[in-house]
Structures are given as C-alpha cells and as structure tokens.
Amino acid sequence: MIKKICCIGAGYVGGPTMSIIAQKCPEIEITVVDLNQKRIDQWNDADVSNIPIYEPGLSNVVAEARGRNLFFDTDIDKAIDEADMIFISVNTPTKTYGKGKGMAADLKYIELCARQIARVATSDKIVVEKSTLPVRTAQAIKNILDHTGNDVNFEILSNPEFLAEGTAVSDLTNPDRVLIGGQQETEKGKQAVQALVDVYAHWVPKDKILTTNLWSSELSKLTANAFLAQRVSSINAMSELCEITGADVDEVAKAIGMDSRIGPKFLKSSVGFGGSCFQKDILNLVYIAKSYGLNEVADYWEQVIILNDHQKRRFAHNIVKTLYNTVSDKKIAFLGWAFKKDTNDTRESPAIYVAEELLSEQAKISVWDPKVKESQIYTDINALGSIETDEVNNRLKVSSNAYEACKDSHAIAILTEWEEFNGYDWQRIYDNMHKPAFVFDGRGVLNKNKLQEIGFVYYRIGEGGV
C-alpha cells in the first residue's frame, strides 16, 4: 500500500496529475517538488487563482486537496527520502547541443533526478517515469539507480501521461486509459505494477488500466503523439488543396470523419499544431528510428513536421500576398497567442512563427490573448533570436483587450480558437479598422456570414473560393 508519493517536477503534468491523485486518494500524502522556487511559491499562493498553470477546474481541485494531503515544496531530498513511490515528471526538451541536436530528447534532467534519488534513498522505492521518454530509457535509469544507490531496491515503472492541455482535469478524471509498463516477469516488478494500478483504481475503471512491458509503454506514448499530430498534418495538407480547388476542408473533414474507421476527432484544420509535445516527440521518434538505421521510418514521420512548418509559413505568406504584397508598417492584430484555447501555455505556438514571418516583413503586430501574459509574448519572440530586440520592442505591442488590438489595423489574424472571439462586437471592430478590413481565420472559428455582412474580407484556412 502506497502511503507517500513524491513527484519531481511541478509543471504542466506534475501539478495537475498529482492534484487529481491527491483529490481521489485522500489517504495518500503527496508532495510535489521542484527546483524552481517561484513556481512552488505560485502553487502555494494563498489565492488559489494564482497557481502557475491555467486549466479549467484545476484551482478547485488544488483548493480541496492542498494542505490536506497535497503539498508543494522545494525540499526535494526530504520528499524523496520519505516517499514509497516517486514520479519523475521533469521536462525532456529537444536537445539544443551536441549529438542529436535539434532532434533527440535531452535527458539531462531525468538523469539528474535518477542520481538524486540514488543518493538520497534509504528505503526501497518505486520510481515512475511520468515524463515522455525515448524507448529503453528505463534501462538507463535502472543502471544509474542500481550502481550508485545505497543498496536499496528500485523498481522502475513507465506511466506516460496522455492529458491534453486545456482539458487536463477532465482527461485525468476520466481518462481513455491509464498505461502502466513494468517488469512483469519478476515478483517485485509485478508488485510495483499492482501498487500503481491500486492508486489509479481509486477512480479509474479497472478495464481502462492497461499494463504492458516497459518498452511497449514507453514507445506507446511517442506513438500516440505521432499519430495525433499526423492527423492534424494530414488535414492541413488537404486544406491547401481545398483552397486551390474550391473544396472546403471542414466539409471534407466531416465527410471523412463519419467513416467510423476514420472517426471525427482531431480533424480540425488549423494554422498548424503547437504545444510542447507533438514536435518534440516526433523529432525524438525520428531520431530513434535513424539511430537504428530505419531511414524510411524516420522520413515517414518527419514529413508530419515538415508539413506543419509549411502550414505556419503559408498562413503568414497568404496575409502578405493578400495585403497587396506588402505589410511593411501595416498593423496586424493577432487574436490569440496560446497554442490552443483554455491554456496559458505558449510553447511552440504557431502564433510565434507567424509573428516571426510578419515581423521580418516589417509588419507591426498587436496581440491580444485572454490568458497569456505580456512578458511571455516578448520572451517567446526574443527566444527565436532572429529579430533584433529593438525591432521587436518597436513593432510588437501587447494589448489589454481585443478592441484595442484591432484598432487601426489592416488585418486580423486568428491564431487561437478562444471561444470569446465570437462574442465580440465585430461591427465596432470593423468601424475602427483600415478598409478593406481583412480577417484571416487560422482556426476556422468565426461566423463568416456575419463578418461578411458587416463588410469584412474573410479568409478561412482550407476554404476555397467557389
């Protein structure tokens, strides 16, 4: 029976995942630890609406469990030492240096965690990989733990997380499945798997808790993300063909999605997928395939990324082309900066790359996003390193509401599918814009007929002129 859990990493996965486990398992004491003092302070903020991650419903769950059996702390050694089960939920970004640069997953944070656990642990531990990892990482973790530890027994499990941001609470509360990989051929391995099954069984039906060997579990996570991203790239590839031929990608998506073998989900054409996972995990998959000499497999998956990069660029180029081949000193309003609605996360958001293209054409950009902070938007653009900071400060402004962002603009670009966009007073927005007033809907969310009636020139991704 697990009494104490420690989770290393208080990010987008560690925070919400542990909050739900704490809510559902009041008898288990859970401590989420992180090196980042500021993040921990935010999780502990007396005003629960200030927790560092915006997820619908999350603050209520934190309010219920925090201080009862859910704790956030920076004393990592203590939490490791006291726990029976340790989740590793640290970031595994794409490597930015050395061998595998730009493709392989950087496992340095994982290795640091493993070494810290080995150094600190004085009693047997179950170590759970929650981060997304290359297949066979469990072997490396086991080697480190067994060779540097204090002679305690470590069982390694793989328990990848499938939550999507913006719906984390409902995904965690009602998951399609929970996947647990372990060493089923040893008695201790079996017991470790069962211990984690018992945690989830507090609220997840048993038939949705899937147990596999370690390698299947690790690889299933990369595979799931690759398949999901591939669907988006597939429909986005068709969007370009639709625009040229007069077809409508939403109609095509509906028509194919009604085939039960294809299914209707994840077929919404867009300005491209973003988020911290899809690109990173596919690049990692491509790298793994190449490292085994499987070049055709690698090339196949790499196309998903190539198409996605193309989609972001082509959206920006279409704006330039439509605005009479120049956007120099023209104001373009961005509605949305987050990589999808209902999150404040901007990692790999397509908005960043569309902005980069337009800034390099000397456009002026004003951004409005309901949840993303101004400082984050500047950080995102400056991190690209492709545009001088002075130029960014001169040309990019962050507005405090949509009306201000759109005032005196030549065009509006929809980069995130926030629901509030449809409720705006579009007549008021139109009245304050240069004419012709263009809207480029990169998410296919606005009411075309209404906008056209007002007088907007409206373009939706994937909609061809008839």
Active site amino acids: 277
For β-strands 29-33 and 4-8, DSSP reports them as parallel
316 binds ligand UDX (CB under 6 A): no
The residue at minimum Cβ distance from ligand NAD is: 11
Per CB under 6 A, the segment of 69-77, 163-171, 190-198, 401-409 that binds ligand UDX is: 163-171
92 binds ligand NAD (CB under 6 A): yes
Are residues 435 and 330 in contact, defined by beta-carbon separation less than 8 angstroms?
no
Kindly tell me which residue out of 274, 442, 444, 462 binds ligand UDX, with binding defined by CB under 6 A: 274
| Residue 366 in tokens | 């004003």
Facing residues of 368 across strands?
A: 335
232 binds ligand UDX (CB under 6 A): yes
Torsion, Cα 93 418 248 312, to 10 degrees, reads -30
Q: Report phi then psi at 270, rounded to 5.
A: -150, 180
The item of ligand NAD, ligand UDX, none sharing an interface with residue 90, based on CB under 5 to 8 Å by kind, is ligand NAD
For β-strands 178-182 and 4-8, DSSP reports them as unpaired
Residue 385 marked ligand-binding: no
Residue 34 marked ligand-binding: yes
* CB of 149 or CB of 462, closer to ligand UDX: 462
* CB of 222 or CB of 363, closer to ligand NAD: 222
Kindly tell me which residue out of 19, 69, 132, 311 binds ligand NAD, with binding defined by CB under 6 A: 132
**Closest separation in Å from C-beta 155 to ligand NAD:** 20
Residue 145 marked ligand-binding: no
**Closest separation in Å from C-beta 224 to ligand UDX:** 6
**Closest separation in Å from C-beta 357 to ligand NAD:** 26
Interface residues for ligand NAD in 70-89 (CB under 6 A)?
76, 89
C-alpha separations of 274 from 88, 161, 232, 262, 286 in Å: 24, 18, 11, 23, 18
Kindly tell me which residue out of 29, 129, 165, 240 binds ligand UDX, with binding defined by CB under 6 A: 165
225 binds ligand UDX (CB under 6 A): yes
**Closest separation in Å from C-beta 165 to ligand NAD:** 5
**Closest separation in Å from C-beta 175 to ligand NAD:** 12
Kindly tell me which residue out of 23, 59, 69, 91 binds ligand NAD, with binding defined by CB under 6 A: 91
**Closest separation in Å from C-beta 196 to ligand NAD:** 17
Interface residues for ligand UDX in 328-387 (CB under 6 A)?
339-340
162 binds ligand UDX (CB under 6 A): yes
Residue 31 marked ligand-binding: no
Taking alpha carbons only, the member of 416, 398, 415, 234 closest to residue 316 is 415
340 binds ligand NAD (CB under 6 A): no
Residue 339 marked ligand-binding: yes
461 binds ligand UDX (CB under 6 A): no
Residue 13 marked ligand-binding: yes
Kindly tell me which residue out of 6, 7, 13, 180 binds ligand NAD, with binding defined by CB under 6 A: 13
**Closest separation in Å from C-beta 110 to ligand NAD:** 8
Binding site, annotated residues = 9-14, 34, 39, 90-94, 131-132, 161-165, 221-225, 261, 268-274, 277-280, 339-340, 347, 443
Binding site, annotated residues for NAD(+) = 9-14, 34, 39, 90-94, 131-132, 165, 277-280, 347
List residues binding ligand UDX (CB under 6 A): 161-165, 225, 228, 232, 266-268, 270, 273-275, 277-278, 339-340
List residues binding ligand NAD (CB under 6 A): 8-14, 33-36, 39, 76, 89-92, 109, 112-113, 131-132, 161, 163, 165, 276-277
